[in-house]
Structure 1
Amino acid sequence: MQHAVVGIDIAKDTHAAQMTDFRGRSLTPRHLSFPNTLEGFEKLLRWVKEVQSKHRLTSLLIGLEPTGHYWFNLANWLLQQGIEVVLVNPVTTHRNKENRDNSPSKNDPKDALVIADVVSRGYYTDYVTQAAAFERLKTLMSDREYWVKQLTSLGNRIVRWIDLYFPEFRQVFPDWTVLRSLASLRACPLPCDLKRLSVDEVIDHWREQGMKRASGVSGRAKAAALLAAAKRSIGDTRATEEARQDSCRLLQTYEYVSAMLGEMDEAIQSVLTEIPLAEQLRSICGLGNMTLAAVLASAGDLRLYAHGKQLLRRAGLNLAECTSGKFKGQIKLSKRGDSMLRKHLYWGMLGLVRQNPDFKRWHANNQARGMKKQASLFKLIGKLARILIGMVQREETYRSPLPAPAAA
């Protein structure tokens, strides 16, 4: 009864705040608008204290709707002032916006009031800042996800360029990312660049591009195949100079992003060494470093989790069922969670069922009982989540629950 509940609708430049008591009754005649600056944050705090003093409320709970990245600075500043901050799912706000006025209308002051209502009923999650190492890992993994997407986009663009101007190139180099293929694309990307060259001249071009073992039997065979492909090429020849420049730009950017991702991977490995949990979880044979980094970056300190189901819910891998009366809907994954964590848990499980003897046996047993491959993988992801949280809670390394197979 002594709590003042503040709901804040987050925007890029100007936030809107409404204050209610614990029963959802509004304590102010109108909302407060304040800018996303230090002066605005201090204005919010003065307003809150004035209303608290007027209504003799001694406790404070502030709820935010985490919109984009605009809420981070405000939430962190409030925590530094010793104020409890909670987060409200935007889906919850959207579904409760008609509770007060039975109207689908939407505006910032109304959204702030809805957020305060939702908080007063307990539909929120606590906002807790992580240790510096976890925040650094989260930033690195977020950047890495972005640049991996950019690298994939660049790769697709290069494949498009090859298909337009030198489609026979893929017959000589099925994998265009190998060293010899990249050297060819840099030195003589178009068929017209190759038609007057000999095998030895092609090899000399490869050496100029930094290849140490450019010749040899396989190298000469590839050079001969490349020259033969250039002679019968059906590639477009109407804009050769522009195409050559386009290829140069694409390859330079691709190699730059590849080198940058390599530096990021090294930085991620360095940060992992600063987190004691990482070394403990590495005892699971076959659990890749990127999977481990994604789990710790997205979920944070696993010691804050009580059960593996919480980690699954964080990733959106919890099951969602729709049933009503005699109707039974299909059970699906909720996918209401961190997509990066969900993706890396799935990829990590693919590695575990290939390399870890325990997970390999569990996967084989599931399939032997008639379970489909995908269903088995997701079931084992749930098992992995329980194992991870259990290891952290008990401060133990991984021990195989299955006896080792007898020697032949």
Structure 2
Amino acid sequence: MKYNQNHKIKQITESTLVIGVDIAKENHVARAQDARGIEFGKPMNIENSRAGFQRFRLWMKSLMREHAKPDVIVGFEPTGHYWMAFAQFLRHEGIKYVVVNPMHVKKSKELDDNSPTKNDVKDARVIAQLVKDGRYSEPQVPTGIYAELRNGMNLRDRLQEDLQRVRGRILNWLDRFFPEFHEVFKIWEGKAALMTLEAFPLPQEIINLGAEKILRHWKQEVKRAIGIKRANALVAAAKRSVGLTEGLSMARQELQSLMEQYQCLCGQMEQLMQDVEALLEQIPAVPYMMSIPGVGLVTVAGFLAEVGDLSNYTHPRQVQKLAGFNLRENTSGKFRGQTRITKRGRPKLRSLLYAAIRPMVAKNREFKQMHEYLTTRSENPLKKQQSMIALCCKLIRVLFSLGHKRVSYNGEKCLGHIRLQQIQNAA
């Protein structure tokens, strides 16, 4: 991502051996050629194992010696997660590797033979041709702390999905067996509500216990904001409940299983976020990035997990492009199409930034003023959604600047352009 097209092309010289690899789950296929596109040797099958990778290295070295090519570049499609082990082997061996866009492979496969045929051997040749023409990108594979952060935030996403699924199942259970529960507890994840669901969730159990025993049970853990009035309300709700009354034994077992899953997931999430916070403490730029009002630990951790080390980038536009926030426009003659974001790159990064900017527009003074200015300015006012996207790009620039320069957030500097514009409009 650091290099422009000219630089990419200049890296492929007469002394460069270009290898294209079609990635698969068990067996990859490699083909080699020179900078002009002349193919060397026969296609090679690479088993996805250490022995297969070593065979590939010996094959590559023999071609380099035979054709006097001291330099080599290996290109492949980032297919699923199957490419990661191969990329790690190349990195450890000091072999330069790049990735090509799968859409480019699909759209250029007919250039050589004018045929829509697709197979692994042909795709490897197409990939090598794309690399030769400089149509590739250099992936930013996270290492060290940043690799730990990415794995940790990916795990957090999966835990969130599992937790949301379990929450939905618990609500489903309540709707079937005790729909009046929500009249007593507006938030079922409160401490007293959870104690009720774990100990006596069924209406008949609540009636049998009575308000006094229920209150004594609650007071074991909850000392404030709960009293006999709430206990009486729970008993009254149980008496008028219209919940199902058949199959209660298995229903109780079902809820017990769901509550165990819920508690387990909550514990795992809490421990994970403690570990993520410990990782962030090792990155010097983090305190400066978190000095932005409205930006918290999850936002900074997710940003660095997706972007990696900020020193690998020279300009925030590179991060903007990585998130898919760069603009595209279709024009032809006098026709000018609507400008939209490309949505290429890392969707998780784009989603994270958009989720972060929404509360910032409401609570961060500077971003709120920028949002008002962008949507109400006299010339070319933006729609609210367009303004949110523009502010996502602004947040990228602010995070990038604070992380690079290691300075704290300054709201006046953030508003500098808008202040100047307002002064000019007033004049």
Normalized against structure 2, the TM-score is what?
0.88
Q: 2:225 aligned with 1:212, yes or no?
A: no
Task: State how far apart, in whole Å, the 2-side matches of 1:204 and 1:283 are.
Answer: 45
TM-superposed deviation, 1:327: 4.3
CA contact (8 A) 1:290 1:344 kept: no
Q: 2:291 aligned with 1:283, yes or no?
A: yes
Tell me the equivalent position of 2:400.
Answer: 389
Identify which of 251, 274, 283 aligns with 1:266: 274
Tell me the equivalent position of 1:44.
Answer: 56
Identify which of 233, 241, 248 aligns with 1:240: 248
The correspondence of residues 48-87 of structure 1 with structure 2, limited to 5 A, is 48-87=60-99
Q: 2:381 aligned with 1:373, yes or no?
A: no
> What secondary structure is seen at the aligned counterpart in 2 of 1:24?
coil
Tell me the equivalent position of 1:16.
Answer: 29
Give the aligned residue type for 1:254. Y
Q: Please, which moves more after superposition, 382-391 or 173-182? A: 382-391
CA contact (8 A) 1:287 1:351 kept: no
TM-superposed deviation, 1:231: 1.7
Task: State how far apart, in whole Å, the 2-side matches of 1:278 and 1:82 are.
Answer: 31
Task: State how far apart, in whole Å, the 2-side matches of 1:194 and 1:187 are.
Answer: 10
Give the aligned residue type for 2:30. A
Task: State how far apart, in whole Å, the 2-side matches of 1:398 and 1:131 are.
Answer: 28
CA contact (8 A) 1:272 1:293 kept: yes
Tell me the equivalent position of 1:339.
Answer: 347
Tell me the equivalent position of 2:409.
Answer: 398
TM-superposed deviation, 1:130: 3.7
Task: State how far apart, in whole Å, the 2-side matches of 1:165 and 1:24 are.
Answer: 70
TM-superposed deviation, 1:247: 0.5
CA deviation map 1:54-86 (0-9, x unaligned): 222221000121122221221111122111011
Task: State how far apart, in whole Å, the 2-side matches of 1:113 and 1:89 are.
Answer: 14
Task: State how far apart, in whole Å, the 2-side matches of 1:379 and 1:81 are.
Answer: 42
Gaps spanning 5+ residues in structure 1: where? none
Q: 2:18 aligned with 1:5, yes or no?
A: yes
TM-superposed deviation, 1:341: 1.3
Tell me the equivalent position of 1:178.
Answer: 190
CA contact (8 A) 2:191 2:222 kept: no
TM-superposed deviation, 1:325: 4.0
TM-superposed deviation, 1:97: 2.0
Q: 2:150 aligned with 1:138, yes or no?
A: yes
CA contact (8 A) 1:288 1:351 kept: no
Task: State how far apart, in whole Å, the 1-side matches of 2:102 and 2:398 are.
Answer: 31
Give the aligned residue type for 2:357. M
CA contact (8 A) 1:10 1:71 kept: yes
Identify which of 159, 169, 179 aligns with 1:157: 169
TM-superposed deviation, 1:253: 0.5
TM-superposed deviation, 1:148: 0.9
Tell me the equivalent position of 1:355.
Answer: 363
In structure 2, the CA distance between the partners of 1:319 and 1:203, relative to structure 1 (3 Å rule), is same
> What secondary structure is seen at the aligned counterpart in 1 of 2:208?
coil
Give the aligned residue type for 2:342. S
Identity over aligned pairs, percent = 36
In structure 2, the CA distance between the partners of 1:129 and 1:367, relative to structure 1 (3 Å rule), is closer
Task: State how far apart, in whole Å, the 1-side matches of 2:87 and 2:183 are.
Answer: 56
In structure 2, the CA distance between the partners of 1:201 and 1:76, relative to structure 1 (3 Å rule), is same
Normalized against structure 1, the TM-score is what?
0.92
Q: 2:211 aligned with 1:199, yes or no?
A: yes
Gaps spanning 5+ residues in structure 2: where? 1-13, 420-427
In structure 2, the CA distance between the partners of 1:35 and 1:229, relative to structure 1 (3 Å rule), is same
> What secondary structure is seen at the aligned counterpart in 2 of 1:49?
helix
TM-superposed deviation, 1:232: 1.9
In structure 2, the CA distance between the partners of 1:371 and 1:48, relative to structure 1 (3 Å rule), is same
> What secondary structure is seen at the aligned counterpart in 2 of 1:283?
coil
Task: State how far apart, in whole Å, the 2-side matches of 1:192 and 1:170 are.
Answer: 17
Task: State how far apart, in whole Å, the 1-side matches of 2:363 and 2:272 are.
Answer: 25
TM-superposed deviation, 1:339: 2.0
TM-superposed deviation, 1:287: 1.5
> What secondary structure is seen at the aligned counterpart in 1 of 2:223?
coil
> What secondary structure is seen at the aligned counterpart in 1 of 2:97?
strand
TM-superposed deviation, 1:89: 2.0
CA contact (8 A) 1:7 1:64 kept: yes
Tell me the equivalent position of 2:323.
Answer: 315
